[in-house]
Structure 1
Amino acid sequence: MTETVVSSVPAARRTGEPGRLWHTFCDMNTVSRGPEFVVARAEGVWLWDSSGDRYLDGTASLWYCNAGHGRREIADAVHRQMTLLDSYTVYGDFANLPALELSERLAAHAPVADPRVILTCGGGESIDTAAKLARRYWAVTGKPEKTHLISRTGGYHGLHGIGTSISGMERFRAGYGRLLEDTSVVPHDSAAALEAEILRVGPENVAAFFAEPVVGAGGVYLPGPDYFTEVARICDRYGVLFVVDSVICGFARMGNWFGIERFGVTPDMVVFAKGVSSGYVPLGGVVVSGRIADPFWNREGNPFMHGTTYAGHPSACAAAMANLDILEREDLFTVALEVERHLDGALRTLAGHPLVAEVRSGLGVMGAVELTEEALTERGITTADVFAEARSRGVVLRPVPRALLVSPPLIITWEQIDHLVSTLAASLDAVSSR
């Protein structure tokens, strides 16, 4: 489908000349030859480029547009807030009503005991906040040697300083020199490996363990049925804080508020972002248990000397409140469980394709289609090849080194899911035939 879209793309980019925008997660030597793929507008699950061509957004941008694009209700809430109070800091004893209201609302649904909420501008900031708070907690409770952080293979925790340091993907750490050194990574599917690593480092030195409910950007790896029960037991036994990174998995993508509820455990902290505002305005935060908050809230002289300029931004919080209204009013929590089942069934039809080694799905509105070793090595096929073919056919997916990832808006229909998967199948066929 093609329709007219008013273009404001700089003339240099329309003619293919080098622009000034430095894209991340790419080789700019290639991208600078242009022109870029310019997204001009979006509505529901659909995107339109600057030429008017339409695409199914199979990734909800970067896992975040849970409520779908073009929700006027969220835009109106931001506009109303900006006309009243555009922005103001929440440092010291300053506050604003949207930040207060959002914190109460999130705390009411959080799977932690006696929760408190620290607001940030996104997932990377939230991870750094949680890691610093974990270390600071042990320092103020008389155990300053507990600084070591453990994470999992494939885990993605943003790319700020600490997030880079605890990444479960080496390609995101390589080439930056020394960052945070007292960290380590364990296999994503082994609670026994976590326990062994805690004992190797020494429980007296380990501050926290970070884990996503489902490993998302690292390839959509689902936990075993008892994995998190064992992890919670191990962390409790050895006095290690259990930090859940729900940035991708939260706000109905797994059919509940923070994803981790599917496993019946109670973490010490939960990191969130993305779906809290469906990405309409950058926002994130950390839900902190009352036990961890206690020495800072109930003892004098223990300020948490950390914060970000735009944390608690009233307009961002207003966007989140409107987004949460949509999630609840349309019961996208229940809808997501139905979408999860249909997406799982559709994706598994690809399991027999000659280029496909494995399909991972069935837990949350997300999935991965991994290519075979033969395709990736002997035949020289890349996930970027399949991604490009799918986009040329009107579907946007997310390529990672070994797999194509999908994480559509939760409002996607059965027909649209089938279109997404059939397009991926046709793209695999086209790449294979070349």
Structure 2
Amino acid sequence: MEHLIELDKKHFLHPSTSIQQQQEQGSKLLVESGEGIYLKDNQGKSYIDAMSSLWNVHIGHGRTELAEAAAEQMKKLAFSSAFSTFTHEPGIRLAEKIAKLSPGNLNTVFFTSGGSESNDTAIKLIRHYWKIQGQPERRKIVALKRGYHGVAAASTSATGIPEFWEMAGHMMTDFIHANTSYQSTTEAAIQSLREKFEAEGPETIAAFMAEPIQGAGGVLIPPKDYFQEVRKLCDEYGIPFIADEVITGFGRTGTMFGLENWGVVPDMMTFAKGVTSGYMPLGGVVISEPIHEVLKQKSEGTLFHGFTYSGHPTATAVGLKNIELIEKEGLVENAKKIGAKMLEGFNRIKEKLEIVGEVRAMGLLGAIELVKDPAANENFSKELNAGPKVIEELHKRGVICRGVTYENSNIICFAPPLIMTEAQLDDVLEKVYESILSVQQQLMRTADRGGDKE
């Protein structure tokens, strides 16, 4: 397979990858197949996919039901545009299904190809919503630091992680970032957000956008009453609330959508990833009935927004089958049950290992933070590479995870497929313990030699 690695280096420019590292070392993993929670490489080695690849393979790998649904639809109608009032049955059926699953009065779906497009669409729709009501000055999007909303133009600008802004220059205008509120008290968080609304002027704000749990930011879970207070604050100022459910949707947190953990209904909700378990690219925006009514009554002419694959027939057919399996197999309930055990396991690891600080999980979405001084909850410096070292140790033991090192954090993230069993979870937890223990011992040896200069 060496020739494939060389072809990969020459012809395949990878996303979110160190270009220099790929050229010097080649790709780390050449995946050949997947089954259940496992991936297998070209050498025959099996790995536990503890990240569901990119937070999205909810029903696991190798599900022939989705392949059959795609093949059946392709034989009948592989693709047809949804522009200019053209439509088709799988798109209609999936829109209806998502509307029924969505909380409150979220009832109308605009389809996209993925999460970045979904968040760009939500931003454009909410600005259009204000413009047709004679308030074009309401353009500002208030989001949170450490939030991640994608890498298209507007979604990159809404993202609150500076590394994503630096690649191609300045962000788009009219994007404001409030301090991340997910690791403070609700009272302080809401006061900070209120001050941001006041400073910017509510009459200039189009919407507030946030993830129920900040995923790529490090699986940051808000205080339990945070979103109830956010909803009240947005209502007080007349500011629509856009919930980014791209990672948290379709059962990931132990409820169908993340905000349902707190009984909160947003004005718009974006989705992608788990809607097809990654078997086809698909995403969308669900809008509330009041917003849809304004669009119907006041929009004139063509809505000049849409993607070639908006409402793709094959993708929507796969989405329908995927949701059917999530419901039939009780995967939302399984995520809640196994997720609770995952958190218990994280806490056991924390009790045994000095460098483990805060641990957290909601459903099958969790994280372990590594700290230098557990009593002070002080993070390791980036120079020590604690997080990346744990990721590498896990890889050696056949577990694929993701690390976060923004703002000097060392966070190990977990988002395994929703089909995970207790036995499989126990296997992961054992390997996590072994990996962190190995890194802890390495760091202590380094400190003993005087290598830790902090």
For the superposition of Structure 1 and Structure 2, which TM-score range results when normalised by the shorter chain? Answer: over 0.9
- Aligned residue in 1 for 2:332: 333
1:389 aligned residue (390, 393, 407): 393
8 A Cα contact 1:140 1:302, kept in partner: no
1:429 aligned residue (421, 437, 440): 437
Distance in 1 (alpha carbons) for counterparts of 2:82 and 2:12: 32
Q: What are the equivalent positions in structure 2 for 1:16-415 lying under 5 Å apart?
A: 18-36=9-27, 37-113=29-105, 115-189=107-181, 190-299=189-298, 301=300, 303-352=302-351, 353-361=353-361, 363-373=362-372, 376-377=380-381, 380-401=384-405, 402-415=410-423
- Aligned residue in 1 for 2:450: none
Deviation at 1:179, TM superposition (A): 2.6
Deviation at 1:10, TM superposition (A): 6.3
SS in 1 for 2:72: helix
Structure 1 residues 378, 338: CA separation in 2 closer, same or farther (over 3 Å shift)?
Answer: closer
SS in 1 for 2:209: strand
TM superposition score normalised by structure 1: 0.94
Write the letter of the residue equivalent to 2:15: T
8 A Cα contact 2:337 2:363, kept in partner: no
Deviation at 1:18, TM superposition (A): 3.7
Q: Which runs of 5+ in 2 are unaligned?
A: 182-188, 374-378, 443-454
2:427 aligned residue (400, 419, 422): 419
Deviation at 1:257, TM superposition (A): 2.1
Distance in 1 (alpha carbons) for counterparts of 2:249 and 2:91: 19
- Aligned residue in 1 for 2:452: none
Which deviates more, 420-429 or 205-214?
420-429
Per-residue Cα deviation, 1:366-425 (whole angstroms, up to 9, x for no partner): 111112146732871332221111111111111111211000001111111121121112
Deviation at 1:89, TM superposition (A): 1.0
Distance in 2 (alpha carbons) for counterparts of 1:150 and 1:251: 25
Which deviates more, 81-90 or 346-355?
346-355
Distance in 2 (alpha carbons) for counterparts of 1:69 and 1:378: 34
Per-residue Cα deviation, 1:183-230 (whole angstroms, up to 9, x for no partner): 111123212211110100000000001111111111111111211111
SS in 2 for 1:159: coil
In the alignment of these two chains, the number of paired residues is 424
SS in 2 for 1:298: helix
SS in 2 for 1:208: strand
Deviation at 1:263, TM superposition (A): 1.1
Distance in 1 (alpha carbons) for counterparts of 2:106 and 2:164: 35
Identity %: 36
Distance in 2 (alpha carbons) for counterparts of 1:229 and 1:392: 43
8 A Cα contact 1:242 1:269, kept in partner: yes
Structure 1 residues 144, 302: CA separation in 2 closer, same or farther (over 3 Å shift)?
Answer: farther
8 A Cα contact 1:112 1:269, kept in partner: no
Moved over 6 A (4+): none
Structure 1 residues 271, 379: CA separation in 2 closer, same or farther (over 3 Å shift)?
Answer: closer
Distance in 1 (alpha carbons) for counterparts of 2:146 and 2:18: 22
Per-residue Cα deviation, 1:58-113 (whole angstroms, up to 9, x for no partner): 00001101111111101100000001101111011111110010000111111141
Per-residue Cα deviation, 1:124-167 (whole angstroms, up to 9, x for no partner): 00000000111110000111110000111211101111111011
TM superposition score normalised by structure 2: 0.90
